[in-house]
């Protein structure tokens, strides 16, 4: 799911950049390369991590708190109640949403495959003729002309008309330059990123730019511009034979194509603006790396990170950021295990500190700890204290809370720092009492880091 989110964001950013920088110039080949490159980079950047280790304190204080509410379930302890609630990632809901998302993607991919199969069947059963040495497959209907892969299709009436040479030249350009590959790539992008309007708009730009390329090639071969434009107008009514993934001579909007044909060619030196894509890609890559590093702090990765390439043994004290088999919570009394069991255990055992209630202090505490090879917890530390994000507004709210008589008369000197520390201490206490099934590398238990957020909230 995270990959899909990053992919859609990258597609949107590249599309906006394309529209702002390149959509009005006449460098059609550069534009084609840009559109294809944007899709490929959008798919690859979320998979890439080229970052180097950075100061852990900076990461823990800057990005941990942002990411924690999106990745892990969060236990919320409410003052004045005997129970706690869990919230956060909603694993089951996320899986359901992902399944629905992928189901629609599969339907769209199937539709594209069906269209391609339909054209392939049409190519096999259509009679062939030769026009100026070019093989053309005859189809029924009027004003019908399109290409797919190396196949060119046209109706008999079009081939007998005066515009036949321009039509065949146009479709031949599509076929020889493999424009179908661009169209199919755009269809695949829309299938994967179907909720993203930028994906559909980029697909439209791909198709329009391919028509610009074909028009430019026909005119470069010596066709009269005005006559060619009249031929476009004569074929401006699309036929039902034209299929969505084919390249059509009469693709709309004609006004844009005619305007582009009449437009003055862009100065060659302005091609330098395409270099702006490099820093844009670098920024996206850096953002992806920052997010990936943040997630490593919050949640064990799915791959093994082995320090100094050492293998584990019974005496190995290395603490791994991840393991082949991740640690799993287990309640020794009930035998329950897994995330839900962990949340239930925390709900039953976390208590809101009285000193924090009296001071009106609430906040999120993030605890990082080590799950040892015997399943016990050690080295529990606070990587996100309840005190670190108190704003002036929150401090004012706490002062108002205390003025309203919520602080006990026998403890007038309670300080905010002590109240926040009490939340931190309670989080460490309950986390240290948990038991785990240890993580494993190569079927051997290893020590693994784990991170858990607990949210303390006043009524």
Per-residue pLDDT tens digits for 69-91: 444 456 666 665 544 555 544 55
CB of 367 closer than 8 Å to CB of 451: yes
For 112, 175, 184, the CA distances from 115, given in Å and listed in that order, are 5, 17, 11
- The pLDDT value recorded for residue 435 is 93
For 22, 32, 272, 433, the CA distances from 27, given in Å and listed in that order, are 8, 9, 11, 66
Q: Can you say whether the dihedral through the CA atoms of 365, 371, 375, 377 is positive or negative?
A: negative
- The pLDDT value recorded for residue 326 is 83
Q: Can you say whether the dihedral through the CA atoms of 19, 20, 24, 30 is positive or negative?
A: negative
DSSP letter at 325? Answer: B
205's CB contacts (< 8 A; 6+ apart) are 15, 18, 19, 23, 35
* Tokens, residue 268: 């060659």
Place of tokens 């320090």: 307
CB of 406 closer than 8 Å to CB of 360: yes
* Tokens, residue 278: 């490099």
* pTM higher than the cut 0.85: no
Q: Which residues of the chain have a pLDDT value below 50?
A: 52-72, 82-83, 88-89, 239-240, 251, 297-314, 407-414
Q: What is the pLDDT of residues 108-120, one digit of tens each?
A: 999 999 999 999 9
* Tokens, residue 334: 């009930």
- The pLDDT value recorded for residue 455 is 84
CA atoms within 13 A on the CB side of 119: 22
Q: What residues are paired with 131 via a beta bridge?
A: 134
Q: At what angle do helices 277-298 and 64-71 cross, to 10 degrees?
A: 70
3-class DSSP assignment, residue 331: coil
Rounded distance between C-alpha atoms, residue 9 and residue 302, angstroms:
23
- For residue 241, the surrounding DSSP H or E stretch is none
Rounded distance between C-alpha atoms, residue 76 and residue 427, angstroms:
11
- The pLDDT value recorded for residue 300 is 40
DSSP letter at 406? Answer: I
- The pLDDT value recorded for residue 58 is 39
- The pLDDT value recorded for residue 197 is 96
- The pLDDT value recorded for residue 322 is 75
Q: Per the omega criterion (within 30 degrees of 0), is the bond before 417 cis?
A: no
- The pLDDT value recorded for residue 67 is 45
3-class DSSP assignment, residue 167: helix
Rounded distance between C-alpha atoms, residue 121 and residue 116, angstroms:
9
Q: Can you say whether the dihedral through the CA atoms of 400, 402, 406, 409 is positive or negative?
A: negative
* Tokens, residue 419: 């109240």
DSSP string computed for 254-313: HHHHHHHHHSPPPPGGGGGGGGGHHHHHHHHHHHHHHHHHHHHHHS--SS---GGGPPP-
Rounded distance between C-alpha atoms, residue 18 and residue 28, angstroms:
12
- The pLDDT value recorded for residue 111 is 95
Q: What residues are paired with 455 via a beta bridge?
A: 76, 364
């Amino acid at each position: 799911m995270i990959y899909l989110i990053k992919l859609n964001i990258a597609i949107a950013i590249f599309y906006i950049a394309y529209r702002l920088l390149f959509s009005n110039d006449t460098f059609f080949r550069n534009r084609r390369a840009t559109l294809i490159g944007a899709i490929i980079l959008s798919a690859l950047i979320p998979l890439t991590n080229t970052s180097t280790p950075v100061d852990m304190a900076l990461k823990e204080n800057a990005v941990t708190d942002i990411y924690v509410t999106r990745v892990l379930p969060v236990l919320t302890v409410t003052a004045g109640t005997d129970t706690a609630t869990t919230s956060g990632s909603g694993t089951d809901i996320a899986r359901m949403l992902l399944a629905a998302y992928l189901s629609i993607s599969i339907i769209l991919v199937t539709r594209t495959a069906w269209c391609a199969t339909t054209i392939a069947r049409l190519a096999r059963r259509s009679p062939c003729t030769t026009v100026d040495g070019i093989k053309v497959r005859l189809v029924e209907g009027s004003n019908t002309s399109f290409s797919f892969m190396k196949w060119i299709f046209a109706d008999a009436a079009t081939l007998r008309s005066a515009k036949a040479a321009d039509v065949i030249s146009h479709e031949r350009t599509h076929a020889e330059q493999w424009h179908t590959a661009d169209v199919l790539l755009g269809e695949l992008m829309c299938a994967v990123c179907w909720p993203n309007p930028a994906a559909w708009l980029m697909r439209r730009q791909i198709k329009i730019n391919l028509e610009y390329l074909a028009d430019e090639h026909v005119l470069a071969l010596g066709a009269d511009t005005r006559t060619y434009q009249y031929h476009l107008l004569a074929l401006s009514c699309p036929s039902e034979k034209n299929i969505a993934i084919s390249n059509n001579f009469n693709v709309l909007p004609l006004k844009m194509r005619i305007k582009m044909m009449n437009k003055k060619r862009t100065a060659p030196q302005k091609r330098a603006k395409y270099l702006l894509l490099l820093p844009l890609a670098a920024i996206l890559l850096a953002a992806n790396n920052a997010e990936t590093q943040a997630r490593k702090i919050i949640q064990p990765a799915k791959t093994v990170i082995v320090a100094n390439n050492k293998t584990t043994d019974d005496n190995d004290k290395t603490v791994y950021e991840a393991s082949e088999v991740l640690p799993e919570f287990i309640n020794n009394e009930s035998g329950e295990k897994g995330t839900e069991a962990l949340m239930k255990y925390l709900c039953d055992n976390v208590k809101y500190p009285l000193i924090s209630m009296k001071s009106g202090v609430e906040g999120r505490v993030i605890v990082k700890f080590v799950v040892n090879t015997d399943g016990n917890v050690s080295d529990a530390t606070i990587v996100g204290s309840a005190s670190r994000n108190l704003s002036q507004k929150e401090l004012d709210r706490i002062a108002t809370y205390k003025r309203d008589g919520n602080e006990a008369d026998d403890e007038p000197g309670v300080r905010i720092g002590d109240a926040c520390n009490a939340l931190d201490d309670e989080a460490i206490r309950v986390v240290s009492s948990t038991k785990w099934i240890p993580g494993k590398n190569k079927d051997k238990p290893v020590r693994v880091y784990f991170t858990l957020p607990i949210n303390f909230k006043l009524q």
